[in-house]
Amino acid sequence: MGGEIKWETEFDTALTRAKNEGKLIFLDCYNPY
């Protein structure tokens, strides 16, 4: 595939994708500092 992980950054967008694609969400809460 190449490239990088295609992160979503909006929770609602991830939920919509999860519903449409029948997948679960991998949520990474990271240290922004």
Residue ranges that bind other proteins, judged by CB under 8 A: 1, 3-9, 11, 14-15, 17-19, 21, 23-32
Shortest distance (Å) from residue 15 CB to other proteins: 6
Shortest distance (Å) from residue 33 CB to other proteins: 9
For the chain, the first-to-last Cα distance in angstroms comes to 30
Q: Which residues contact 25 (CB under 8 A, 6 or more apart)?
A: 14, 15, 18
Shortest distance (Å) from residue 20 CB to other proteins: 9
